[in-house]
């Protein structure tokens, strides 16, 4: 019996260090696990922000609008790659580990950024220029599509049970931080370093070189992270019937899949409206100057990022469902009044306060949506379960937000877009009303 006890202890010893992760290790996990979001969203936003400067370099000279449309088309293709990235990297994370999948994800983003930065112009290599740009965006689309599910899973699994909301909220802190970084670099290059001609000639390559460097830093940080205990346990104890990270296994959880789609739908549309689309809305509808729009966007995004850990910590105390219900109810009731008021704002700061009010409401979704999804799935299918349905929903509703908004505006019925957002949030609210609080039913507790 004593000998058997010693054997049992010896067998369990390899798992012991993973249970005794220090505070420093957890901080390292937060930074390394979420830094890829900052890098990937920086690259994603930099492409859109600098398109006006580099579109001529990749397409034949002539109509500038045609050049921008071609550039936007490649941007859209990158968006369509996100569900494929969610599938590939989710499967990889569930089969070979969260750490390896995150490392490869950020490596792909680095290649994509470097490729854009170094590709010669259309005048130099002809049709190869837009072809290489397309390849770069395909790589980045795969990368950003896979990043969400894997990093959400990693942060949720590395957190202690009483701090999961706080830990996972940093995914959106760095996601928003990526947009802020791209916006900040654009402002610095425009106002302090380069002339307009220099930006058009060669300066547009600088943000992509910076993106490649940031990706290498993120790659180094991620290569030194711990693998999660949940994955290691599942890897060691899975039965022959379990197929980690497969679509067949994922379809055994239809309720969780529908829940991910439902809780994401309204939230992602609201998020894209108040972040990526808002600069255009402030200029085209509110009639602010570009400088005022940029300043409001920068300040509001910074405050929005700071709100995420606050709301995440609150969910650790009162549960996830109250925050989701708060977003669902307030979003359904106040989206039309807020956007209507914003559209009629008479000054920059009046517009700013309308926007901040909207972002506070949206924080009820953004701060905790990652951990909620992770808590719905068992370890053997978690990364795929979080990443794939989320990426599909974002590609359809988040990716089309700007197009739908501009289409309504073009038709002279811009307010219809406000009601469209309201309807989508109301749909998500129905899901929140019928779902259980995942803090109490979390499958992470069974790892």
Residue 412: left if φ>0, alpha if ψ -120 to 50, beta else—which one?
A: left
pLDDT at 17: 44
pLDDT at 66: 61
Query: For 361-373, what is each residue's pLDDT tens digit?
Result: 999 999 999 999 9
**Residues with Cβ < 8 Å from 434, sequence gap 6 or more?**
none
Residue 22 scores a pLDDT above 50: yes
With CA atoms as reference, report the closest residue to 102 among 43, 51, 147: 147
By percentage, how much of the chain surpasses pLDDT 70?
A: 89
Confidence of residue 308 (pLDDT cuts 50, 70, 90): very high
What is the rounded radius of gyration, in angstroms, for the C-alpha atoms of the chain?
22
pLDDT at 373: 94
pLDDT at 32: 76
Range of 39-43, 46-50, 159-163, 415-419 with top mean pLDDT: 415-419
Query: For 65-110, what is each residue's pLDDT tens digit?
Result: 566 556 666 666 777 888 999 999 999 999 988 888 988 888 888 8
Residue 200 scores a pLDDT above 80: yes
Residue 429 scores a pLDDT above 90: yes
pLDDT at 339: 97
What's the length of the chain? 447
What's the average model confidence in pLDDT over 5-20? 46
With CA atoms as reference, report the closest residue to 379 among 238, 182, 220, 190: 238
Residue 270 scores a pLDDT above 50: yes
Q: What's the rounded Cα separation, in Å, for the pair 179 and 366?
A: 15
Query: Is residue 42 a contact partner of residue 214, using CB atoms and an 8 Å limit?
Result: yes
Domains of the chain in sequence order: 25-225+245-446 (1.20.1250.20)
Write down the mean pLDDT value for the chain. Answer: 85
Residue 396 scores a pLDDT above 80: yes
Q: What's the rounded Cα separation, in Å, for the pair 2 and 187?
A: 69
Question: What does the H/E/C string look like for the chain?
Answer: CHHHHHHHHHHHHHHHHHHCCCHHHHHHHHHHHHHHHHHHHHHHHHHHHHHHHHHHHHCCCCCHHHHHHHHHHHHHHHHHCHHHHHHHHHHHHHHHCHHHHHHHHHHHHHHHHHHHHHCCCHHHHCCHHHHHHHHHHHHHHHHHHHHHHHHHHHHHHHCCCCCHHHHHHHHHHHHHHHHHHHHHHHHHHHHHHCCHHHHHHCHHHHHHHHHHHHHHHHHHHHHCCCCCHHHHHHHHHCCCCCCCCCHHHHCCCHHHHHHHHHHHHHHHHHHHHHCCCHHHHHHHCCCCCHHHHHHHHHHHHHHHHHHHHHHHHHHHHHCHHHHHHHHHHHHHHHHHHHHHHHHCCCCHHHHHHHHHHHHHHHHHHHCCHHHHHHCCCCHHHHHHHHHHHHHHHHHHHHCCHHHHHHHHHHCCCCHHHHHHHHHHHHHHHHHHHHCCCHHHHCHHHHC
Q: What's the rounded Cα separation, in Å, for the pair 402 and 272?
A: 8
Residue 399 scores a pLDDT above 90: no
pLDDT at 75: 63
pLDDT at 318: 95
Residue 9 scores a pLDDT above 70: no
Residue 6 scores a pLDDT above 60: no
């Amino acid at each position: 019996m004593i000998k058997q006890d010693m054997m049992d202890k010896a067998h369990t010893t390899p798992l012991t260090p993973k249970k005794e992760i220090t505070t420093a290790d957890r901080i390292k996990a937060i930074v390394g696990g979420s830094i890829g979001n900052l890098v990937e969203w920086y690259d994603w936003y930099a492409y859109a922000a600098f398109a006006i400067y580099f579109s001529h370099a990749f397409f034949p000279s002539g109509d500038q609008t045609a050049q921008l449309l071609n550039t936007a088309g490649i941007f859209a293709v990158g968006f369509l790659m996100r569900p494929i990235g969610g599938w590939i990297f989710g499967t990889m994370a569930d089969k070979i580990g969260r750490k390896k999948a995150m490392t490869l994800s950020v490596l792909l983003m680095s290649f994509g950024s470097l490729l854009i930065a170094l590709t010669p112009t259309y005048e130099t290599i002809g049709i190869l220029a837009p072809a290489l740009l397309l390849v770069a965006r395909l790589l980045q689309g795969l990368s950003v599509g896979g990043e969400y599910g894997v990093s959400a899973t990693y942060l949720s699994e590395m957190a202690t049970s009483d701090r999961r909301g706080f830990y996972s909220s940093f995914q959106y802190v760095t996601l928003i931080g990526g947009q802020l970084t791209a916006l900040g670099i654009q402002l610095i290059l425009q106002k302090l370093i380069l002339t307009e001609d220099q930006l058009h000639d060669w300066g547009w390559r600088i943000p992509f070189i910076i993106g490649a460097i940031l990706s290498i830093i993120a790659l180094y940080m991620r290569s030194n992270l711990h693998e999660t205990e949940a994955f290691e346990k599942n890897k060691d104890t899975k039965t022959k019937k379990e197929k980690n990270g497969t679509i067949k296994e994922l379809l055994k959880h239809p309720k969780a899949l529908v829940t991910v789609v439902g809780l994401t739908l309204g939230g992602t549309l609201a998020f894209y409206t108040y972040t990526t689309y808002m600069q255009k809305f402030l200029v085209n509808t509110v009639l602010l100057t570009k400088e005022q729009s940029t300043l409001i966007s920068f300040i509001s995004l910074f405050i929005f990022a700071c709100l995420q850990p606050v709301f995440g910590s609150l969910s650790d105390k009162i549960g996830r469902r109250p925050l989701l219900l708060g977003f669902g109810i307030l979003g359904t009731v106040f989206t039309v009044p807020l956007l209507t008021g914003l559209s009629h704002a008479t000054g920059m700061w009046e517009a700013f306060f309308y926007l901040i009010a909207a972002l506070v409401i949206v924080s009820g979704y953004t701060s905790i949506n990652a951990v909620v999804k992770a808590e719905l799935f068992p370890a053997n299918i978690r990364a795929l379960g979080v990443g794939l349905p989320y990426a599909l929903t974002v590609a359809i509703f988040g990716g089309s937000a700007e197009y739908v908004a501009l289409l309504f505006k073009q038709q002279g019925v811009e307010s219809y877009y406000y009601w469209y957002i309201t309807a989508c949030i109301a749909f998500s609210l129905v899901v929140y009303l019928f779902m259980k609080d995942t803090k109490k039913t979390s499958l992470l507790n069974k790892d």
